[in-house]
Chain A
Amino acid sequence: MSVVLIALLAVPLAGAVLLLLTRAEPPRWYGAAVSGLTLAAAVALAVAFDPGRAGRAQFQVDRPWIPGLALRFHLGLDGISLPLVLLTALLTFLCFVYLTRHRPEGGRFRALVFTLLILEVGMIGTFLALDLLLFFVFFEIVLVPMYFVIAVWGGAGRGPAAVKFILYTLLGSAVLLLGLLLIWVHTGTLDMVRLAEAHGSGIPRAAQVLAFLAVGLGLAVKAPMWPLHTWLPAAHTEAPTVGSVLLAAVLLKMGTYGFARVAIPVLPEGAAVVAPWLGAFAVAGIVYGSLACLAQRDLKRMIAYSSVGHMGFVLLGLATLTPVGINAALFGNIAHGLITGLLFFVVGAIKERYGTSEMSRLGGGLLTRLPYIGSLLTFAAVASLGVPGLAGFWGEMLALLGAFHPAPTQPRPLFLTFMAIGGLGTVLTAAYFLLMLSRVTHGHPTEPVRSPEPLPPPDPAPSSERTLPAEPGSSSGYGLPSELGSSGPHGLPAEPGPERSGVEQEPLVALAETGTEPRVRVSARPGEPAATGVPSESAASGVPSEPSKAPVEPAAEETAAAGGEDSWSAAPERDAATRETVEREVSLAGAGKGTVPPGPPVVSGRPRDLTPYELAAWTPLVALTLALGLWPKLLLSLTDPAVQAFLGVR
């Protein structure tokens, strides 16, 4: 099975290298296929994983790589890393599924797939590594791809956000490296398994404190711990949807995983000294994150700050240094990954439809306007605020429980205070999520940003508007990347122009009501061959399949009533139907003319509700949130033995 373990890294890497070798645009299922294979490998490992020995690393691969640095290529899976590896593989796959239709602005799809695959290598590798330096190398691998995801495919303020992200995290990693080397100097080994078994013997107390400070600082930047979180809101707000999802769901976990895997087991004395401070910063983060959320007007930014709060609970769990607390942290990790991933997906979808995630401009009544997306947003928000029965609850509850009985080395009154403040934090969390829901999903269904004309210049928030809402006949939106192959001479984003309306289509009404295939007319631009639609394609993927057919119909009726402007009502269908044509045209035209029509589910009157790709990407997250909420033992039985072993309880 250790071959499968290597495959977890090799498959995405090979997929990325393959992209580098060919110059052709990959098929749009390429990323999903590669990450699907990776997910299959991860699931195979999970099946083969022996839960009875979850405390020990299984499927180990251990080879010398750089003897000069004592660096070994040492990988393995145990109860702590398995859930995170599964989470990473799953979320990357879901991101790619989502990407097959919902591409961010910025074009260069091939480069995006490449970047995300490299990111996946780094993320999975971090959770697999059992060698300190190898851990560090994988920890670093994610930096450059994430930088480019934000800097190339991000929102209006992407440049500064990306720089902030990479500078903060690199400063953290540099300090982390110093801490790891300090451990190495004192123990002479980089093997995490041996170091964890040694429980800090051989490292003097002062060195342990120093090393824990250095390692902890590096990990805390990544986690992020208040007050080192300031890179996070900017990065989250500007990143494209998939970037935000992976950043929140996986990258942040690398920090807390590092605490559970490296800092606390290897440096127990240092941890005991620093833990009260860690706990204090954690609760400060909980309260600060919640209060900051209350003040946010932008949905994405609000969820970013909510991550600060949730990671505060995770860090509080870690700070207790008890099995309960650390289990809580690991549970909270996974729950936060699932729920916040879902939240970012949903908010990304809303932003995609309305061109903004500003609450004041979104207006209320989302449940009426987009019932399915509105319900999912409600579900995710409720899960995130920690309602019992959903995954978010257990992480917070167990963390508070851990703080109630902290480790004997820790001052109990202090942790009781932390617990009280953390409890207050849960209330605040509920407050801001409910406030958000009352603003966005409830209320009168006003649609202030929907208008046939392009919007007037948006209010001062600079990040809100890069995507103008669709205007009939010449909308932009997101849609196909302007540049379908990097073979094109330049990657200017497609400019909205009249030529874009070269593709016209019958309204969706006909499709939805009669079930016939849409008739697609492609009015060829001068000098290019006229192409006809591809009906089979549209029938296969454009039309929502059974479960999601219903939500389309109200929209269709509405558009039918709305009258003449409806040639764009079937944007996704048209998109699906004409994409092949368009791609061909674009490749003929040299990929630089900006003639690509948009493919947003945006219509003149009303945006489209859930698309099949969104449904496919989000359903597993919903299911897992429910499953873990109802059956927490599923996860705890995996993590608990490893935690017990790390803390030397057994």
Chain B
Amino acid sequence: MIQSIDYAAIASPLILALVAGLVLLLDVFLPRRPGTRAVLGYVTLAGVLAALAVVAAQAVQGARLATFCVPARPAGPLRPREEPAACSFIVDDLTLIFAGVILATAVVIVLLSMTQLARTPAPAAVRTSLDPSLSTPANTGSTSASSGPTPTSTGPTPASARPIPASAGPTPAGTGPVHAATRPIPAGEWYFLLLCALTGAVTLPASRDLIMLVVALELVSLPVFALTALKRYDARASEAALKLFLVSVVSTAIMLFGVSLLYGLTGSVHLERIAASLNAPLSAMTAAGPVTTDATSAAALSATAVPATAVPAVVLTVAVVLVLAGFAFKVAAVPFHFWAADVYQGAPVPVAALLSVISKAAGFAGLILVLTIALAGQSGLWAPIVAVLAALTMTVGNLLALRQRHAVRLLAWSSVAQSGYILAALSVAGKTAAAASIAYLVIYAAMNVGAFAVVMAAGRAGERNELEDYRGLAFREPFSALALAFFLICLAGLPPGLAGLFAKVVVFREIVQGGDGLLAVVMAVNTVIGLYYYIAWTARLFTPAVAPGAKPAGRGAIRPAVIAVAVALVVSLAFSVAPQIVLSAAG
């Protein structure tokens, strides 16, 4: 069978992939001059913008594009019923809004990356000579010259990878690692990996079969391990990368198990065909094969109000739970959340932003696709699970965030909590529910990436990036401080951060409408808990510093990050004034 590929449909991931290759080539062939890194950054930025333009054009055009299709097949001896035509790659409203969010966020992240990469070669040569043991690459314990090798991180298994005390901690976004001075983060690899992850992230919301979903999800995840570890010889970064790798691989394995069960149950990988097969009338079931009719499955069938299906209910339940668990890892939902803070803190700030927004958006895209297309008829089965996950996620995330003193760790747990709000809307299981959670995700993306951008712009190299370091920021850098205050208040969901408020209202409305009063109350309480740490951080910005802070780093190095902050701020303000943009796009 010869596939005809609609290149217009796959234009945006294609552009990203080609630019990724181009960046790699340029990195090889361009002379090693200081300007080269910036050139690579601009090429990446151009690629992302081009992909974003394609997405925008597709959105304006409004056409539904599909490619990688298989034709309909009539019922035959092996097939109990006719299989409709199905496509693996579909560009529709859902695809476009996710792709738009991901690419717009990517613009900010590329800008942050330019700051990160420009910042890396910082003066640390003296330290190298002071501590000769650091020159061996095997010694991953070199966190900073002052604290010396940290004992905890020599055996980077998840069990031993507890957070290093902050007092002896290295600088996650800074120049602490001595070898970062001699070996800066390689720009070519960085941008290549970033573009690969973006390719996956843009492909994922367009995927309409399980294989493609898994492949795209892996394409998002795999480059991120490497990106996290690119700060070589930084113990915390290595630890973070390994932790992320292990967690991600485990979650992929779990999800693959669930996916294979789904495939085995339904005989198809296309989401629509799965849905059709699961919702098939009972008569087809007997033709499909033997059915377990033991008491438990019958009970499960009736209890979960699953319509009479062709598949054993227990197996289906297991498959659904496994798939959910796999995605829960990706979106850092409780109880699969524990990696978040350590990884966010260890990774460079742009990668943390990528993880908290793009990776999360991709995860939610996959989750929404699977739940609302393939398992649409099984909402009685998964909705309670999602509701419990949501309640746990927001509560645990908020409670953990309360105790944080490190800016990025706080954002990590807060983004876990925010995942809970997104899941909460999803748990209502309806067409508008998915729209509500997408709307929340879009607004969340703008405000959260903005917060990360300020952390990048204001968290100067060499500082610990603790919350205390933000004390009095309003007097040193009024723009950054006001922007951060706005983002935080948005995240808390209070005016003047109307975007966050309306996002929460949308979710609340969905839950109240769905009649899940308990979840609504849990979320209301969580909003208050969340407010505490957001407002505490915001208040620090305006509290005079005990000692006058260091002068801001050089303007030149900061500028892309400041542009990133400005972009996020403008978008958040627009969402605050006219949230209808998001609501109509998502709905």
Contact = CB atoms under 8 A, between A and B. Distances in A.
B476 to A, nearest CB: 8
A147 B543 CA distance: 13
A104 B51 CA distance: 54
Given A68-B580, A185-B512, A486-B475, A174 B528 contact: yes
Contact of B495 (A69, A137, A490, A492): A137
B62 interface: no
Contacts of A133: 505
A491 interface: yes
Interface string B545-580: 100100000000000000000000000000000111
Contacts, number: 109
Given A66-B579, A143-B494, A492 B544 contact: yes
B217 to A, nearest CB: 30
A177 B154 CA distance: 50
A460 interface: no
A486 B583 contact: no
A178 interface: yes
Given A66-B580, A137-B495, A489-B475, A174 B532 contact: no
Contacts of A181: 505, 508-509, 512-513
Interface in A340-393: none
A320 to B, nearest CB: 30
Given A68-B580, A69-B502, A492-B544, A486 B527 contact: no
B506 A69 contact: yes
Given A69-B583, A184-B509, A490 B475 contact: yes
A178 B521 contact: yes
Contact of A68 (B478, B501, B584): B584
Interface string B497-509: 0100110011011
For this complex, into which size category does the number of interface residues on chain A fall?
A: 35 or more
B477 to A, nearest CB: 11
B311 interface: no
A144 B489 contact: yes
B520 interface: yes
A614 to B, nearest CB: 29
Contacts of B501: 137, 140
Nearest to B531: A170
B535 A147 contact: yes
A492 B547 CA distance: 10
B474 interface: yes
B525 interface: yes
A148 interface: yes
A203 interface: no
B475 A66 contact: no
A99 interface: no
B587 interface: yes
A148 B543 CA distance: 10
B508 A490 contact: no
Given A166-B535, A490-B472, A174 B512 contact: no
Contacts of A178: 508, 512, 517, 520-521, 524
Nearest to A182: B512
A140 B494 contact: yes
A229 B475 CA distance: 35
Interface in B525-547: 525, 527-528, 531-532, 535-536, 539, 542-545
A144 B491 CA distance: 13
B548 A67 contact: no
A66 B531 contact: no
B524 A491 contact: no
B496 interface: yes
B525 A66 contact: no
A118 B496 contact: yes
A68 B505 contact: no
Nearest to A122: B495
A33 interface: no
User: Interface size class for chain B?
Assistant: 35 or more
Contacts of B517: 178
B496 A144 contact: yes
A148 B505 contact: no
A171 B529 CA distance: 9
Given A166-B535, A171-B528, A177 B495 contact: no
A151 interface: yes
Contacts of B475: 486, 488-491
Interface in A126-179: 133, 137-138, 140-141, 143-144, 147-148, 151-152, 159, 162-163, 166-167, 170-171, 174-175, 177-178
Contacts of B543: 152
Contacts of B580: 65-68
Nearest to A108: B542
Interface in B475-496: 475-476, 478, 482, 489, 494-496
A170 B502 contact: no
B548 A490 contact: yes
B525 A174 contact: yes
B586 to A, nearest CB: 8
Interface string A181-196: 1101100000000000
Contacts of B583: 66-69
B478 A141 contact: no
Given A144-B494, A486-B478, A491 B525 contact: no
B474 A486 contact: yes
A69 B542 CA distance: 34
Nearest to B584: A68
B204 to A, nearest CB: 25
A141 B528 contact: no
Contacts of B509: 69, 181, 184-185
Contacts of B528: 167, 170-171, 174
B545 A490 contact: yes
Contacts of A137: 495, 498, 501
Interface in A442-499: 486, 488-493
Given A66-B579, A166-B531, A175 B505 contact: no
Ranked 9 nearest A-B pairs via Cβ: A68-B583, A174-B524, A141-B495, A491-B544, A181-B512, A171-B528, A140-B495, A66-B580, A174-B527
Interface of B: 439, 472, 474-476, 478, 482, 489, 494-496, 498, 501-502, 505-506, 508-509, 512-513, 517, 520-521, 524-525, 527-528, 531-532, 535-536, 539, 542-545, 548, 578-580, 583-584, 587
Given A177-B524, A181-B505, 7 more contacts: A144-B494, A151-B539, A166-B535, A170-B528, A178-B512, A182-B512, A185-B513
26 contacts: A66-B502, A66-B579, A66-B580, A67-B580, A68-B579, A69-B579, A122-B495, A140-B501, A148-B542, A163-B536, A166-B531, A170-B494, A170-B528, A170-B531, A177-B508, A178-B508, A178-B520, A178-B521, A184-B509, A185-B513, A486-B474, A490-B544, A490-B545, A491-B472, A491-B475, A492-B544
